[in-house]
Amino acid sequence: MNEELLVYVWKYKLFSNFNFKTTNDVDLEIISFGSINLDSGPDFFNAKIRIGNQLWAGNVEIHVNSSDWVRHKHQNDKAYNNVILHVVFNHDREIEVLGNALPVLELKNFVSEKVIENYNSLTKPSKSFLHCANTNCLNHNFEYDNWIESIFIKRVENKLENINNQLNISASHWEQVLFRTIARSFGLKLNGEAFANFASSFDYKIHQNLSSDKNSVEALFFGQAGFLNEDHESEYFINLKNEYKFIKSKHSLNTINNSQFKFFRTRPSNFPTIRMAQLASVYSKHPNLFSKIIKSKNIEEVKSFFEIDVNPFWETHYNFKSESKKSSRMLTDSFVELIIMNSIIPIRFAYFKAISDFDKVEESIVLAEKLKKESNTVISEFVAVGWKVANAKESQALLYLKNKYCDKNKCLDCLIGKRVLERN
């Protein structure tokens, strides 16, 4: 038995019966169980109870043993002076508050063995991918769909912290924030931080002033990322280097440390040079991309913004140094969908939430339903144990669920865990 389970039992009223009595054998009626407290202090606020004929209003504290009150030093904390009921699994000593005996409800006879058994089945050590993998509680219904959407929204809102920080830094320059968000996504996991540093190394207005000339945009991007520091013989490289030298001098720019870009153990199609060329093509074509993203009406329109052609040089090169077999450098549909999920949806969500256009917030969520689910080992494991994953909204929710709930054993905060606990 642990306190986490007792708090859960109290919150969701999972009692075998409600014929409560205090440990002094006085009738106890719970009029209101109170509101759970997620900060320091008593576990539940604003409860209402009747002990005998006396009505009480105040807070409830929950422990496994009554003696935990002393072990946790609550007797020295004024925040606990308004506790009106001590809820414990095992009553092993009397507790006084302000000189008066604290009423105690012992739950030992009110929590069924089945609830405890179900809880133990969730929390016992297991080699399974999920604690609930073999519980047969995964039925997809309206409750499940709403819960998955709420998890997805938590994942999106988790990304908003960085967006909001960027907005504060840039004085709410949404175009600049979108650029920096997309740039990080272009770097993927391995080079995301390096691309973010590159995108933050210059004022976006400089790019907007150069956007009519694709060569200048490429010079700015490759130059700021430090890819033009060396010497190469190609005419394309020499032109970029000369152009960047002029831009750098005119705007007093500082090149970032190029060593932070990683090529090792990266597929050539994901080399930072290739991704930088593609990013430059997107932003040469759409310098005011944020305005277009906000006005876009469907997923097809959003995807069209990423239909680009890179400089022909990159069709036969992965870097500035050596030539390679000719191949297309167009952005793949899967990569574009990744950018939409990690950048476009969060920025739309943040913007429409900021202006309180909640219909558009909902539309941003619907965009994720139009994207294909991710293909990775985590999602494959979920599918293998019976989870149905129809689209990116659901796969993103499950990735967040695995990271923030399953891996941290927060089964009691999960709908499936709740179903396991409450089953007969």
pLDDT in tens, the chain (424 residues): 899 999 999 999 999 999 999 999 999 999 999 999 999 999 999 999 999 999 999 999 999 999 999 999 999 999 999 999 999 999 999 999 999 999 999 999 899 999 999 998 888 877 788 888 777 778 788 889 999 999 999 999 999 989 999 999 999 999 999 999 999 999 999 999 999 999 999 999 999 999 999 999 999 999 999 999 999 999 999 999 999 999 999 999 999 999 999 999 899 999 999 999 999 999 999 999 999 999 998 999 999 999 999 999 999 999 999 899 999 999 999 999 999 999 999 999 999 999 999 999 999 999 999 999 988 999 999 998 888 899 999 999 999 999 999 998 898 999 999 988 888 7
Burial 353-364 (b: 16+ CB within 10 A, else e): beeeeeeebebb
Same domain, 181 and 52: no
387 falls within a domain: no
Same domain, 236 and 103: no
CB atoms within 10 A of CB 408: 10
Same domain, 227 and 81: no
**Spatial CA neighbour of 302 closest among 312, 311, 310, 292:** 292
Q: Which domain holds residue 326?
A: 170-369
Q: Are strands 83-90 and 104-106 parallel, antiparallel or unpaired?
A: parallel
Can you tell me whether residue 232 is helix, strand or coil? coil
β partners of residue 29 = 50
Same domain, 174 and 300: yes
Longest CA pairwise span in the chain (Å): 94
**Spatial CA neighbour of 14 closest among 87, 115, 161:** 115
Distance of CA 94 to the CA centre of its chain: 44
Type and span of the H or E element at 334:
helix 333-339
Whole-number pLDDT of residue 331: 97
Q: At what angle do helices 345-354 and 142-169 cross, to 10 degrees?
A: 80
Q: Is 127 left (phi over 0), alpha (psi -120 to 50) or beta?
A: alpha
412 falls within a domain: no
- Cβ–Cβ < 8 Å for 395, 374: yes
For 61, 155, 185, 298, the CA distances from 366, given in Å and listed in that order, are 42, 15, 21, 10
382 falls within a domain: no
Same domain, 79 and 177: no
Which of 330, 354, 369 lies at the terminal end of a domain, its last residue? Answer: 369
Count of residues in the chain: 424
Give the integer Cα–Cα distance in Å for 257 and 198: 9
242 falls within a domain: yes
Same domain, 339 and 245: yes
Same domain, 70 and 213: no
Whole-number pLDDT of residue 358: 95
Same domain, 85 and 207: no
For 9, 100, 273, 283, the CA distances from 34, given in Å and listed in that order, are 13, 22, 58, 54
- Cβ–Cβ < 8 Å for 403, 412: no
Torsion angle (degrees, nearest 10) of CA 114, 118, 124, 130: 170
Backbone angles phi, psi at 75, to 5 degrees: -65, -15
353 falls within a domain: yes
- Cβ–Cβ < 8 Å for 12, 420: no
396 falls within a domain: no
Q: Long-range pairs for 384-390 at CB < 8 Å and ≥24 separation?
A: 384/129, 385/128, 385/129, 385/130, 385/133, 385/134, 385/138, 386/138, 387/138, 388/140
Total number of domains constituting the chain? 2
CB atoms within 10 A of CB 391: 14
Same domain, 94 and 174: no
Burial 109-148 (b: 16+ CB within 10 A, else e): ebbeeebeebbebbbeeeeebbbbbebebbeeeeeeeebb
pTM: 0.84
Same domain, 179 and 328: yes
Same domain, 248 and 354: yes
Q: How many CA atoms lie within 13 A of 138 on its CB side?
A: 16
Backbone angles phi, psi at 25, to 5 degrees: 65, 35
Q: Take residue 349 and report the two structure tokens written for it.
A: 């969500």
Same domain, 211 and 107: no
Q: How many CA atoms lie within 13 A of 45 on its CB side?
A: 8
**Exposed, middle or buried, 211 (CB in 10 Å: 0-12/13-18/19+)?**
middle
Whole-number pLDDT of residue 265: 86
